[in-house]
Structure 1
Amino acid sequence: MANYFVGDIQGCFEELQILLQKVSFNPSTDILWAVGDLVARGPGSLETLRLFESLQNSGKVVLGNHDLHLMAIHGKIKRANPNDHLQALLEAPDCHKLITWLRQQPLVRHLPEHNLIMSHAGVPPQWNLDTLLSESLTISEQLKQADYLTNVIGQMYQNKPNAWSNNLNGIERTIYGINALTRMRFLHPDTSLEFECKLPPQQLKDNILKPWFDFESSLQKPYQIVFGHWAALMGQTSAPHLHALDTGCCWGEHLTLWHLETNEKITQNNLFNVKLNNK
């Protein structure tokens, strides 16, 4: 049995298929874990969702910001960006089924046997394991409810509150949790979320902001943390226990697959970029 973790697919389905062929992925014995953002910029969002839905227990995902945004588009709360190439998915006869499946997926996966945590953007340094699991579970349960569009999705497009407090209640607590788990990159010195800057840390001109993973963590022991979301990192972090798997496939770079048991990373270049280079 092998555990494979893949970075932000964002509809780059053909690249994912090639990666799975490279490692001879076998759904009867192996598990494919995805760090979120299954859909968006690439042309294969429909095929990607169909694949993971069909894998059942052999495919495990966490929700990313683009996956939540898809729920808003499907629910007529937001309009689709043409650059996201979601039309085939939205018009598919099984679209509602796939959205229903997506709503059942968590924001955090905890693998205690491997001392590992997976979320889309990372783990807020203020949260210990109990807080991480309880806050993410609360949001997941809210997304499963019939009123999820009005009570969660329709209200999540806010940047405040951007700082954690145990005194947060109701929708404010939900908004902070969604933003921290699906949008977090840099933090201010007080650990409040910074939403505008998407640069790699080495290009930052001031010393005020720091990546979330450079703050002291409240986790009781060191965990391997698997995340995506921050393509500008291109897999580079400050410690070996941090696995940044978004390597910008949808932006012309490559898709990354991490084999847990061997600590090997396998990549596949963006196919559209390859075709351009071959002209």
Structure 2
Amino acid sequence: MATYAIGDVQGCLSPLMQLLAKINYHPQHDRLWFTGDLINRGNESLATLEFIKSLPENTVCVLGNHDLTLLAAYYDIIQPKPGDTYAEILKAPNAKELIEWLSKKPLLFHDETQGYILCHAGVYPLWDLNRAKACAREVEDCLQNNLIALLAHMYGNEPSYWYEDLTGWDRIRFIINAFTRMRFCDTNGGLDFSLKESSMSPLSSLLPWFSLPQRIPIQEKILFGHWAALQGQCPVNNIYALDSGCVWGNALTAFCLESKEKISVECTL
């Protein structure tokens, strides 16, 4: 029995099936975790979402920014942009069922037994684990009880700094941005969304979230996606980048929690 965490699939079902065959995935014995961004950009978004939804109940998916965008589009909060590939989901006969299933997914998953955290973009560096879990629950509760309002207020880059006394939609927006959009922070921990490149920032004032000197250490191992430019590499011990850029024609990667082995398949789109 093994647990495999898989990086951003983004509607690339064919590479996902190749990867599951390569790891010899058996649904009765193995378990799959997904780092979010299940859909969009790839050309098989509907089939991908339907397949992952059909997996055993012990499958774990956390929400990514593209997943939240799909929810917002379904409820007419936004309109799809050029290059988005989730229109087929919105038109599908089972769209409501798929959207309701997706909206119940968490921002953070913590397996205390194995000592792993799964999230899309990472854990905000000035949060300890208890704070991160509490913040994730705030948004998850809002997703269940005030979904439309959350989707209407979640867009925007401000506030960029975390304060314990943040309230209302500013607080919710910061938490969502931290879990689903974060890459770089300034030296004071402010979220910056101007760069998407690798961890070697050309601006000395910006650092990858995992390299911030004052980052609060978390004992658990962190699995995250979102940052394809890292090509699945992270220089910090016990933090594992899993988005290896499948949708950009690179690779789709699975990480075995038990052996810490990475297994990839090449993607040609």
When normalised by structure 1's length, the TM-score is 0.93
Q: CA RMSD, aligned part only?
A: 1.2
Q: Deviations over 1:224-253 (max 9, x none)?
A: 110001111111212231110011111111
SS at 2:135's partner residue? helix
> Which residue of the partner structure matches residue 16 of structure 2?
16
Query: 4+ runs of 1 displaced by more than 2 Å?
Result: 216-219
SS at 1:71's partner residue? helix
Question: Which amino acid is the alignment partner of residue 142 of structure 2?
Answer: Q
Counterpart contact for 1:28–1:58, Cα < 8 Å: no
> Which residue of the partner structure matches residue 100 of structure 2?
100
Among all aligned residue pairs of Structure 1 and Structure 2, give the percentage whose two residues are the same amino acid.
Answer: 39
> Which residue of the partner structure matches residue 199 of structure 2?
201
SS at 1:113's partner residue? coil
> Which residue of the partner structure matches residue 277 of structure 1?
none
Counterpart contact for 1:30–1:58, Cα < 8 Å: no
- Name whichever structure is richer in helix by fraction: 1
1:89: Cα distance to partner?
1.4
> Which residue of the partner structure matches residue 235 of structure 2?
238
Question: Which amino acid is the alignment partner of residue 220 of structure 2?
Answer: Y
Counterpart contact for 2:27–2:56, Cα < 8 Å: no
1:207: Cα distance to partner?
1.4
Where does the alignment leave 5 or more consecutive residues of structure 2 unmatched? none
Question: Which amino acid is the alignment partner of residue 170 of structure 1?
Answer: G
Q: Deviations over 1:46-71 (max 9, x none)?
A: 11211221114232100000000000
Is residue 53 from structure 1 mapped to residue 53 from structure 2 by the alignment? yes
* CA distance in 2: counterparts of 1:48 and 1:82, whole angstroms: 20
When normalised by structure 2's length, the TM-score is 0.96
Is residue 137 from structure 1 mapped to residue 137 from structure 2 by the alignment? yes
SS at 2:222's partner residue? strand
* CA distance in 2: counterparts of 1:69 and 1:12, whole angstroms: 17
1:257: Cα distance to partner?
0.8
1:166: Cα distance to partner?
0.4
Is residue 63 from structure 1 mapped to residue 73 from structure 2 by the alignment? no
Question: Which amino acid is the alignment partner of residue 248 of structure 1?
Answer: G
* CA distance in 2: counterparts of 1:67 and 1:236, whole angstroms: 23
* CA distance in 1: counterparts of 2:225 and 2:14, whole angstroms: 19
1:82: Cα distance to partner?
3.9
Is residue 72 from structure 1 mapped to residue 72 from structure 2 by the alignment? yes
Is residue 81 from structure 1 mapped to residue 59 from structure 2 by the alignment? no
Counterpart contact for 2:250–2:268, Cα < 8 Å: no
- Which structure 2 residues correspond to residues 179-218 of structure 1 after superposition, within 5 A? 179-202=177-200, 204-215=201-212, 216-218=214-216
Choose which of 221, 225, 232 in structure 1 pairs with 2:222: 225
Counterpart contact for 1:32–1:60, Cα < 8 Å: yes
Q: Deviations over 1:74-108 (max 9, x none)?
A: 11111112412212211111111000000100000
> Which residue of the partner structure matches residue 275 of structure 1?
none
- Which structure 2 residues correspond to residues 106-145 of structure 1 after superposition, within 5 A? 106-145=106-145
Q: How many residues align?
A: 268
